[in-house]
Structure 1
Amino acid sequence: MTMVEQVGERAGGNRRVVGVVLALASIALGALVILAPLDLPEIVRLAGVGLVVVGLATVIGVDGAGHSRRWVRILTGAAMAAAGIVVLVWQSASIRSLLWVMVTALIVHGLHTLVAAVRSETDRRVDGLFSGTAAVLLGLLCLVWPVLAIELIKYAVGAWLVFVGLRGLLDPWLHRRRERAAERAQPGLLRRWGRTILAVTVFLVVAALAIGSALLLRGDERPAPDDFCTSSEPLPAEAGVLLKAETLTVGVPPGADAWRILYTSTAPDDTVVAVSGIVIAPSDRTQDALPLLSVAHGTTGIVPRCAPSLSPTPFADGAGEALTQMVTEHGWAGVISDYLGLGTPGMHPYLVGQVEARNVLDASLAAQQLDGLSLSSDTVVWGHSQGGHGALWTGQIAEDYAPGLTVLGIAGMAPATDLYTLAEMSKGEVGGKTVSAYIAHSWNVVFPDLDLAGRLNPGTAHGVEKIGDLCFNEQDAIAALVRGTQIPEQVFPDSVLDGDLGEKLRENSPTGPWPAPVLIAQGLADPLVKPAMQQDWVDARCADGEPLDYRTFPGRDHNGVVAADSPLTPQLVSWTLDRWNRVAPTPTC
């Protein structure tokens, strides 16, 4: 053997040793990403180390990707290693920016594998096509849904590192088997199909993740508001005027009649605007005035197509079973405002208390103008979640804003009361991020002086925009919450939350006084409206002399507290009938 051959053999042996070390490192890093209890920043940075390892393996040609031109291999590996270093040292970047760097390198490696596959023999070509496509698809999946779920990125990236390591580790052995099989002209089954089966398996897993993501995020195909929700005539100068009405048939419970209405109300700047809503009444009714429920609905979104009147289940929001019983069994009528910006054009002023309350009160005044329906001017106000917030504000301003109505009682179910504390307590949770996205999108328009669009945490603007266009019921609610998992950090920096945004949240938190008995119902397993926050708010109101009736329900979460089988349902019906009959309340403070 010549000296040149000896040097070449020694270099080849060293390259194989380095290849084994790098392959084992890739497998170890992938296993660590999958198995270790890490948060998202740690996962991203550990994956950055993996990119450096795989990049070095690609440079020296031991990543098992197949044959490609030397300069292509070196450039690809160098780009991947550089991306990994950027992820590791760019400490000031947002998690989303680091993910972009990381997954771009993933896509580059996938493309390199595809190019190398074209230059390889048949079995390696099939393997390379599937594994390269899987890497590109995984990269695109992470780019489009960067934090779809921390576990998705954790397991997908970890599996990719393990796969690349195994491929690099097995390649020398398979190469030797390939040479021996070529000498015998009898290629082994494992050589021909082992890597291909592994590559196809990884591809199918990534494809399933991509398809599942698309299904989760597609949302509803609900229609945009129709011509009913717009008024071509000049609006009257006063609020609470019925503009038009039409019969509603979709989602109406048996034994009830319903109507869509368009009426005037007041915007945040005190101008008169058109707002839509729905009215429900018993089919079997006399000419006598019906007792009236004024219902403030919970969060359904912030864009026009999210109006309850456009939903296939317009009366299912909140305490829907209790409302049905009040109408069909006890002969009450109910009025639900869509709120400004839901149904009608414009941005919905989400959790802006004065506007919610004005819309609810004006809807009740407008409903009294419906032909063939006689309604009492006495009313009980209900609301769940955002609607609980709206119900408390409705009672708070009713005497001044709508003296023609008499509020006999206010029931808030899991109400959003102390908005600042709610935002502070849930700022890092999926539900809190989703609600914060609605606030950011809505209040940036309603309160332009806050300039919320320019003060979000880096990397959150994309998620805020996407969530803002989704409703918060039916399939859209799932999509909105999943989008919330994409937001890697809290939406608002602490400096913004503790500054003028925090002051605006406090201004829109209801504190009373109220002109009638108040019932607050809270599920103790509620992950959105925190029981601890609610208890503190109730204690503060009691200390202020407000005689609240506070009822808690163990094991009930945010929607479970108003479900048909909730113990609150019969209690709410009984409490409401007592208010109509002027039974003395039984406050708990």
Structure 2
Amino acid sequence: MQTEQQKFRGPARVVLAAAAIGLGLIVIMTPLSPQGVAVAVGIGIACSGILLIVAPSTQNQTTRSVLPLVAGVMCMVLGAVVALWPDAGAPWLALLVAVAIIVFGIHTATRAIRQRTDQSVASLISAFAAILIGVVAFSWPVLTLSVFRVGFGGWLVFIGAQALLQLIFARRSTRRRPPTRGWIRTAAASLALVLACGFALGSAWIFGGAPLAAPGAFYTPPADVSDTPGTLIRVEPLDSGVPAEAEGYRILYTTTHADGSPAISSGTVLLPARRGTDPLPLISVAHGTTGVDPKCAPSLSATPFSDGAAAALEQMVVEHGWAAVTSDYIGLGTEGPHPYLVGDAEARNVLDATRAAHELADVTLADRTVVWGHSQGGQGALWTGQIADAYAPEITIEGIAAFAPAADLYGLADADKNDAAGKTVSAYIAATWNDLYPELDLDEHLTAGSAVGVERISQLCFNGKDVLAAIIRGTQVTNQVFPDSTLAGEFGDMLKAQTPVGPFPAPVLVAQGLDDPLVKPQLQDRWVEARCAEEEAIDYRTYAGFDHVSVVSKDSPLTPELIDWTLARWSGDAPTPNC
């Protein structure tokens, strides 16, 4: 006769088996975030642990092995931990999956070598493929969880169905499966190895980024450098990426950090090849995000003048006879840290580059300028206008053009915290602000599992092939980089302090693509509304069908409009605010 405990196990197994099948189908069919995968997997592991405990035994209760009981309890505890703390559980789960694949491969290889059967070759090939996939999986934690999600869901459905069938059929079938032909297994293993090698090589190509030159001797200043900001230290011609009928130069000059302490920065100057003796009109460019490592300086790039509104800039120089100066910013090319998205520091670097450009030989520049900037540079351009009168009163700002500016840095960090591009930007902030503001102790306030992703992303530039690598690295950060509690604290206050609020000494043009996934239009709308409420002269233009990058492309309607707007500012035409 059945005991009360045995009577309980039957219905309990039916419920748990049905739950496993249902959960498995949900896991397979429902798109889940890494945290969602962790919760689902945690619940699934806990359910499998309960199934192990209540599973029927072929032994009597006195001799029943305690191993299933111990394993069941361990699964329940592990599942509960993963499900209840998914932020920490997701990266650890991805790590465990990668390790498990490698261990499985090693075990398969060891068994194949020891047994030396006719299937040993196929087993060794399969083992090598598994080890290779496991190693590569360390670089793809989110993808690993996505694939694992499907496999784990299928496993839950399988064990649930198996448990139900065991209740229906008292005996397991003793029919033996026909042996698989050796050549089929070897061919399948070889195909798996080829796919694994392709995956590994593709990953290496993507994550390897582009081989960029490290800053050379040009970027190291002499020992006796003037403390006067904007002093030109040295200059050399650029031999690549310079538009036809133009001359390009790399410059090194003095500037200051946001706290006023002396620093060194580099930059570029673009001049028309044909020019007279009259002072050239000048554009001061604040460049967009290129990375935070010294090798990411635009002046080191093979295309140093390709940032932002490059097509419009080339036309202004070649067709209209203007000059342009761009700061690399501190820490890009020169010794850092780079003040990434620190508006006051970027503005000082831009204004001092403008000062240094006036010291170039064989060219005379006007003491007026129009400031341009895209993305990070859009924020920098607005800050350049904001501090110009106090920091560089000898420079007259005639206009400020900001394209998709990161004007509301806190809003951007909060709105984009779960997006790949947002995680990339957050990683750059984490990598630089930890040195700029040690009191924040950001290294200790990242979400669980984010530190490795932050370090890897910070080593990649955001130009050329590195853009792809940086964005994909961002997709593989399992959590938002900064937890909500950090965003709500002192760090969040410092992000808010980077919002340029004016007053601005000249008319401001703000251009925004309505399909921008990074600097979202609603964030820009709010910033513009706030500035208009302060009676700033803002000309706000939006472009349907254009995103963060295409809004400044050659084919964007902004390009001819920007040229006309800039020429109008120089001519002293009345501004066209549309608040």
- Normalising by structure 1, report the TM-score: 0.84
Deviation for aligned residue 1:556:
0.3
Q: Which moved more, 1:338-347 or 1:92-101?
A: 92-101
Pick one of 60, 78, 93 that aligns with 1:86. Answer: 78
Q: Is 1:393 equivalent to 2:383 in the alignment?
A: yes
Q: Is 1:39 equivalent to 2:29 in the alignment?
A: no
| Gap change, CA 1:149 and 1:389, over 3 Å in 2 | farther
Q: Is 1:102 equivalent to 2:92 in the alignment?
A: no
Pick one of 253, 262, 265 that aligns with 1:272. Answer: 262
| Gap change, CA 1:560 and 1:164, over 3 Å in 2 | farther
Q: What amino acid is the match of 1:177?
A: P
Deviation for aligned residue 1:150:
5.6
The whole-number CA distance in structure 1 between the counterparts of 2:200 and 2:391 is 52
The whole-number CA distance in structure 2 between the counterparts of 1:384 and 1:375 is 23
| Gap change, CA 1:502 and 1:321, over 3 Å in 2 | same
Deviation for aligned residue 1:410:
0.2
Deviation for aligned residue 1:247:
1.1
Q: Which moved more, 1:360-369 or 1:113-122?
A: 113-122
| Gap change, CA 1:51 and 1:216, over 3 Å in 2 | farther
| Gap change, CA 1:573 and 1:130, over 3 Å in 2 | same
The whole-number CA distance in structure 2 between the counterparts of 1:54 and 1:87 is 9
| Gap change, CA 1:111 and 1:155, over 3 Å in 2 | same
| Gap change, CA 1:523 and 1:174, over 3 Å in 2 | farther
The whole-number CA distance in structure 2 between the counterparts of 1:505 and 1:32 is 39
CA deviation profile, 1:306-333 (whole Å, cap 9, x unmatched): 0000000000000000000000000000
The whole-number CA distance in structure 1 between the counterparts of 2:43 and 2:199 is 24
Deviation for aligned residue 1:197:
3.7
Q: What amino acid is the match of 1:309?
A: S
Deviation for aligned residue 1:138:
2.7
After the TM superposition, which residues 134-533 of structure 1 pair with which residues of structure 2 at under 5 Å, given as runs? 134-148=129-143, 151=146, 153-154=148-149, 176-178=177-179, 190-533=180-523
Q: What amino acid is the match of 1:38?
A: L
The whole-number CA distance in structure 2 between the counterparts of 1:357 and 1:338 is 11
Q: What amino acid is the match of 1:40?
A: P
The whole-number CA distance in structure 2 between the counterparts of 1:199 and 1:46 is 31
The whole-number CA distance in structure 2 between the counterparts of 1:568 and 1:293 is 17
The whole-number CA distance in structure 1 between the counterparts of 2:455 and 2:159 is 36
Q: CA-atom RMSD, angstroms?
A: 3.4
Q: What amino acid is the match of 2:178?
A: R
Deviation for aligned residue 1:224:
0.5
Deviation for aligned residue 1:174:
10
Deviation for aligned residue 1:50:
8.1
Deviation for aligned residue 1:31:
7.7
The whole-number CA distance in structure 1 between the counterparts of 2:115 and 2:229 is 75
Pick one of 121, 127, 140 that aligns with 1:126. Answer: 121
The whole-number CA distance in structure 2 between the counterparts of 1:116 and 1:27 is 33
SS at match of 2:281: strand
The whole-number CA distance in structure 2 between the counterparts of 1:51 and 1:123 is 36
Q: What amino acid is the match of 1:39?
A: S
Deviation for aligned residue 1:543:
0.9
- Contact 2:332–2:338 (CA<8 Å) still a contact in 1? yes
Matched with 1:22 is none
Matched with 2:55 is none
- Contact 2:375–2:403 (CA<8 Å) still a contact in 1? yes
- Contact 2:431–2:458 (CA<8 Å) still a contact in 1? yes
SS at match of 1:245: strand
The whole-number CA distance in structure 1 between the counterparts of 2:305 and 2:447 is 37
SS at match of 1:376: coil
Deviation for aligned residue 1:476:
1.0
Percent of residue pairs identical:
51
- Contact 1:296–1:388 (CA<8 Å) still a contact in 2? yes
| Gap change, CA 1:361 and 1:159, over 3 Å in 2 | farther
| Gap change, CA 1:467 and 1:79, over 3 Å in 2 | farther
Matched with 1:69 is none
The whole-number CA distance in structure 2 between the counterparts of 1:156 and 1:566 is 45
Q: What amino acid is the match of 2:33?
A: D
Deviation for aligned residue 1:206:
3.3
Q: What amino acid is the match of 1:86?
A: L
Matched with 1:11 is none
Q: What amino acid is the match of 1:99?
A: A
The whole-number CA distance in structure 2 between the counterparts of 1:327 and 1:438 is 32
| Gap change, CA 1:239 and 1:193, over 3 Å in 2 | same
Matched with 1:3 is none
- Contact 1:29–1:50 (CA<8 Å) still a contact in 2? yes
The whole-number CA distance in structure 2 between the counterparts of 1:164 and 1:319 is 58
After the TM superposition, which residues 11-30 of structure 1 pair with which residues of structure 2 at under 5 Å, given as runs? none
The whole-number CA distance in structure 2 between the counterparts of 1:573 and 1:176 is 76
The whole-number CA distance in structure 2 between the counterparts of 1:28 and 1:96 is 25
The whole-number CA distance in structure 2 between the counterparts of 1:174 and 1:103 is 35
| Gap change, CA 1:201 and 1:87, over 3 Å in 2 | farther
| Gap change, CA 1:456 and 1:173, over 3 Å in 2 | same
- Normalising by structure 2, report the TM-score: 0.85
